[in-house]
Amino acid sequence: MMSQFKFSAGPWNVHDGADSYGPATRSSISLEEKIEKFAQMGFDAIQFHDDDAVPDINELSEEEIKEEAKKVKKLLDRYHLAAEFVAPRLWMDPHTSDGGFMSTCKEDRDYAMWRAKRSIDIANELGADKVVLWLAREGTLCAESKSPVWATQMLIDAINEMLRYDSEIKIVIEPKPNEPIDRSICGTIGHVMGVSAATIDPSRVGGLLESAHAILAGLDPSHEIGFALAMGKLWGVHLNDQNGIKYDQDKTFGVENLRQAFNQVKVLIENGYGSNGEYVGLDVKAMRTTKDEDSYKHLENSLKIVRALEEKVAEFDYDLQKKLVADRDFEGLEMYVMNLLMGLA
């Protein structure tokens, strides 16, 4: 099945199955092996955390970090893959236990900024023009521990410092309403637009919408995508799925709500997503029960489902839709969509 999109995936999408409640269930796979497999599967680009590209980043000098990143660039070139973005991993290190840019500890905030600047350096070496901020721990565990006004300003200040550090880099915020923190500071694409507008260069601050994160906020991902598209600021997507408001599941795209998945693909296609080089990123996790030999199945299946839904969008009868809307026959339109998805249209 052909696609009009270019696809990306992150090395963390292929993982050993460990979760908060139990150890690994699969053996771990090297970065090079994952990259080779991603290329074979038809991916065009790789998403990186700073330490996916440069392990043990804390132990290295700024020059050594750039040298390590150059090696990864060579690896990507070997497989004809691009780097989509680099994201500072501001949630693993002990310095980030209370968040990064809005940690209550100044030394920890400085550490977060150091990682953010190193992510920009790595992005430059890899030829990526974007740094993604998934604001994992940016919020509160205890509501009274920090002022949400101060915390929001800290985020804006941090982004401004990144924009000043590099005059070309684009900052792409990936919002999520909660988990691992209790209350986040920048929980939806609407928040992202507000933060963008408050920075020194809104033209370089946009959003990445992850389906599961929107669902966790009780919102429809296709409308979040649509809102960012309307603002000209949808610079990335992480397509996946999520069964309601619970822990973050990162399920295979479309397996929980096929109609919602269809509408995400539809709004992307209708608005020419990808025509400025944007990738359709997947951010999916294998189940803990998945066997070693199926380590990539959830990615393969997500690609298949996106492509199948592209075909459904191509089949979508816009004349019929117009007629049904003019007649206010929304029951008819819903049934048409159901029939289309069930192969009965």
Summarize as ranges the residues that interact with Mg ion (CB under 5 A).
210, 238, 283
- Residue with CB nearest ligand XLS? 134
H-assigned helices in 144-285: 148-165, 189-198, 211-216, 221-230, 258-270
Identity of the residue, 17 or 207, whose beta carbon is nearer to Mg ion in the bound complex: 207
The DSSP string of 156-173 is HHHHHHHHHH-SS-EEEE
Q: What is the CA radius of gyration of the chain?
A: 20
* Backbone phi, psi, residue 141, to 5°: -90, -35
Which of 238/298 has CB closer to Mg ion? 238
Q: Is 8 helix (H, G, I), strand (E, B) or coil?
A: strand
To ligand XLS, the closest distance from the beta carbon of 134 in angstroms equals: 3
Minimum distance of ligand XLS from residue 211's CB (angstroms)? 10
Binding to ligand XLS (CB under 6 A) within 228-267 occurs at 238
| Among Mg ion, ligand XLS, none, residue 69 binds (CB under 5-8 Å by kind) | none
Q: Which is nearer to ligand XLS, 87 or 309 (CB)?
A: 87
Residue 138 lies near ligand XLS (rule: CB under 6 A): no
Rounded Cα distance between 322 and 339, Å, is 17
Q: SS3 breakdown of the chain: % helix, strand, coil, rounded to 5?
A: 50, 15, 35
Binder of ligand XLS out of 50, 210, 278, 310 (CB under 6 A): 210
Q: Does 174 sit near ligand XLS (CB under 6 A)?
A: yes
How many residues are recorded in the chain? Answer: 345
Which one among 87, 154, 193, 229 touches ligand XLS, defined by CB under 6 A? 87
Least spacing, CB of residue 124 vs ligand XLS, in Å: 18
Based on DSSP, count helices (H) and strands (E) in the chain, helices before strands: 12, 10
Which two structure tokens, joined as six digits, stand for 263? 């509408």
Q: Which is nearer to ligand XLS, 111 or 134 (CB)?
A: 134
Which of 134, 235, 279, 336 lies at the binding interface for ligand XLS (CB under 6 A)? 134
**What residue type is 119 in one-letter code?**
S
User: Taking the complex as a whole, how short is the minimal distance between the CB of residue 172 and ligand XLS, in angstroms?
Assistant: 10
Q: Which residues contact 270 (CB under 8 A, 6 or more apart)?
A: 313
Distances (CA, A) of 100 to 12, 157, 200: 21, 12, 20
E-assigned strands of 250-342? 280-282
Q: Which two tokens stand for residue 283?
A: 């951010």
Query: Which residue lies nearer to ligand XLS by CB, 138 or 336?
Result: 138
22-81 residues in contact with ligand XLS (CB under 6 A) are: 49
Q: Give the residue with the Cβ less far from Mg ion, 248 or 310.
A: 248
User: What, of ligand XLS, Mg ion, none, does residue 126 touch, CB below 5 to 8 Å by kind?
Assistant: none
Task: Decide: is 279 part of the binding site for ligand XLS (CB under 6 A).
Answer: no
Q: Considering beta carbons, is residue 132 or 265 the nearer one to ligand XLS?
A: 132
Start-to-end C-alpha separation, the chain: 21
Q: Does residue 94 have a cis peptide bond before it, meaning omega lies within 30 degrees of 0?
A: no
Least distance between Mg ion and beta carbon 217 (Å): 14
What would the two tokens of residue 12 be? 């963390």
Look up residue 166 and give its two tokens.
């590099």
Question: Does the footprint of ligand XLS cover residue 137 (CB under 6 A)?
Answer: no
Q: From the list ligand XLS, Mg ion, none, which binds 279 (C-beta under 5 to 8 Å, kind-based)?
A: none
Buried b or exposed e, range 12-41, using 16+ CB within 10 angstroms: ebbbebeeeeeeebbeebebeebbebbbee
Least distance (Å) between residue 12 CB and ligand XLS: 6
Give which of ligand XLS, Mg ion, none residue 132 binds (C-beta under 5 to 8 Å, depending on kind).
Answer: ligand XLS
Q: Which two tokens stand for residue 241?
A: 């799925």
Q: Which residues of the shown chain bind ligand XLS in the complex (CB under 6 A)?
A: 12, 49, 87, 132, 134, 174, 210, 238, 283
